[in-house]
Structure formats: structure tokens, C-alpha cells
Chain A
Amino acid sequence: MTKISVNKKVFETDSDPSTPMLWVLRDEFGLTGTKFGCGIAQCGSCTIHVDGEARRSCVTPISAVVGKEVTTIEGLSPDSSHPLQKAWIAEDAPQCGYCQSGQIMAAAAMLKKTPKPTDADIDQAMNGIICRCGTYNRVRAAIKLAAMNGGK
């Protein structure tokens, strides 16, 4: 039995320690806000935080998060009030929305370390998160808005 702390709550799993977090989060813990995109760390849809840093949950084994704090999109704020979540709505950032939890989690990890990002900082951090609808300009605008509102 492995104990894992997700969104400040302790969960237990019997899965093999090499099982990727994404499978455990969605299938066992019922936290389906984190999405499966490619399964090989190419697209970024499954981005979560491990001790505050962006990690792609499809390639992060359970064994790598034991004793650490995992945060998913459900735990980013208690009531969807994180500046990025508000900015996402204000800028109408998503189109289909499939990638947005990964986009928001990656952006939140970036803003923690770079609270006042330049366009280049944003592009560099977000380049690896694929949006099949091509909403990149709105994503960037939302991140800038969140940064202006002191978002981390």
C-alpha cells in the first residue's frame, strides 16, 4: 500500500510503484481534471505539480512522489479563484478545453518562479504544452493578466 498526498489529502493505492501518477489520479482517486493527451510526455495535458514544480503525470511514477505534495488542477485553489483560473475565464482562453488544466498548471508553476514574466518567459515555459485548437495567443494573454493580478 502506497500513501500519496494529493491536494493536501492522503490517498492510498495498491498499484505497482512504477505506475504513472496520471492513471492513479484518474482511475483510482477520481481526480479526472488532469487529462490524458499522448501518454509519452510530448503534449503537456497531464501536467501536475510535485512539491510546486511542473511534472508530466503520464511519465511520473508513483514511486517518485512518495513523501511529496502533489497538486492537481482540482487543488490549485479551493474555489477556482486562482488568478490564472480567473484570467482564463476573463480572456476566454479555452476553445475545446482539453489542454487547459495542463496549460494552467504549467503556467502556475512558471509564475511561482517568474512572477513578472516577459512574453519570452511565457513562450519558453509554455512551448511544450500543445493546444490542438491553437489558442496560444489567448493563453498568453491570460497568463499576462494573471501575472498583473499577482498570480501564483
Chain B
Amino acid sequence: MSSRVLKFLVIFIAVGVVAFARFGRFEPVENVAASTAEDPVKARAAFNEAVKVFFSARCSNCHPGGDAPTQGDERRIHDQDVKRGPDGKGVAGMECATCHQAENMDGEGLPPGAPNWHMPPAGNKMVFQGMTAAALCQQLKDPARNGGRKTLKESIHHIETDPLVGWAWNPGNGRSAPPLSQADFLKKLNEWIDAGAACPE
């Protein structure tokens, strides 16, 4: 190999290394920066999509403002004058689990079921019904009112993994599912958080 060819090779490799260092290293950093940048417009838009799920019958029926859950797509007051009770599991003698099993019973008019069927406890009602999107957004961010979840990711984890929440997307017996799929709902919530979790005005 001649010394001219060798010199050319050395220069070629050096240029390649510099180019890789410049683009190979910086490009991912720019990507990470883009995904965590605060973007209130994007955050609000994502939340306004996600909030449709919170306000759907499947989710809001068990998150009323008072102590009576509602039922059905028409959100009528729960039959039997059912009440929340102190721990959200009903009152002594008429608990949620008196009728709601760990899974749906198959047949018209039968109570729906999922593990640990319950409402939020009396001390932390986590109200969805009658809230504006802005008020619900602020509530989700407030550990005193969101079930003691210190980070938004903790709330997302609950939505992702609790089988009772997951039931909403497979409610059976003709009940409507929320307007977004569970995956799209989680995607919108993560978008909202990653863009800074700004709340609608």
C-alpha cells in the first residue's frame, strides 16, 4: 500500500469518526429534549382527548359527586339505593361485593363484575361527575384529591394495571366502552404528562 493511499485512508476514517460523533451522539439527545419539552398547547390538547374517557359512563358511574353511584349508559342512580360507605365498598349488609362478583355474570340484567368492585372511599372521593375538564385535571395533579398518588405516573400505573379500571374496556352485555381504547387513553395521558401536564383553562 502506497503512503498516498494510506494518508487518504487515515483522513477518510478521521472524517468518518468526527461525523459519527457529531451526528451519532447529538441526534438522540435532541430527540429526548423534544419529548420532554414543556408544550402547554400540546398538553392541553392531549388532556382534552383523554378526559372524554374519565367522563364516559363506564368510568364516571363509580365516581359521583355524592355518595350514590350511578349505573347504565344513562347514568341513573344505582338501584337499591346503593351507597358508597366509608371505605367505598358499600355499607354493612349491602356491600358492592354482595352482588358484584370478580367477573361478569353472563346474561341480561345481571350485575357486572371485576376484581375488587368498589368506589373511591368517602375520605377521597375522586369525583368525575359534574366536573369540568380543567377541574378534573387539577384534581388529578393534587395528591390530597387523587387518592394519594404523588406523581402523575403513579396515577397512570393505576389506570394501566387495575383490573377494575381495565374492565371498562370489556364491559360485556351491551354496555358501551369509553370513546378511546385503553391504549390510546394511556397514550394521550402520557403525552399530557410528557408535555408538562398543563391543564385546560
Contacts and interface: CB of A to CB of B under 8 A. Distances in A.
A associates with B: yes
A123 to B, nearest CB: 8
Interface string A29-42: 00000000000111
Contact of B91 (A47, A61, A64, A124): A124
B92 A113 contact: yes
Nearest to B81: A127
A54 B80 contact: no
Nearest to B80: A128
A41 B102 contact: no
Q: How large is the interface on A (under 10, 10 to 19, 20 to 34, 35 or more residues)?
A: 20 to 34
Contacts of A59: 99, 101, 105, 110-111
Contacts of A70: none
Central interface residue in B80, B91, B92, by most chain A CB within 10 Å: B92
B94 A106 contact: yes
Contacts of B106: 18
Contacts of A18: 106
A109 interface: yes
Interface residues of B, number: 21
Interface of B: 79-83, 91-95, 97-99, 101-102, 105-107, 109-111
A76 to B, nearest CB: 14
B110 A113 contact: no
Contact of B97 (A44, A53, A107, A124): A53
Contact of A114 (B79, B92, B98, B111): B92
Contacts of B95: 53-54
Given A53-B97, A53-B98, A125 B91 contact: yes
Nearest to A113: B92
A141 B144 CA distance: 42
A40 to B, nearest CB: 5
7 contacts: A40-B110, A54-B98, A56-B99, A61-B105, A114-B93, A127-B80, A128-B94
Given A54-B94, A55-B98, A124-B81, 10 more contacts: A40-B109, A40-B110, A41-B98, A53-B97, A55-B97, A106-B93, A126-B93, A126-B94, A128-B79, A128-B80
Interface in A76-109: 106-107, 109
B110 A41 contact: yes
A118 B191 CA distance: 50
Central interface residue in A60, A124, A126, by most chain B CB within 10 Å: A124
A44 B81 CA distance: 13
Nearest to A40: B109
Nearest to B85: A124
A110 interface: yes
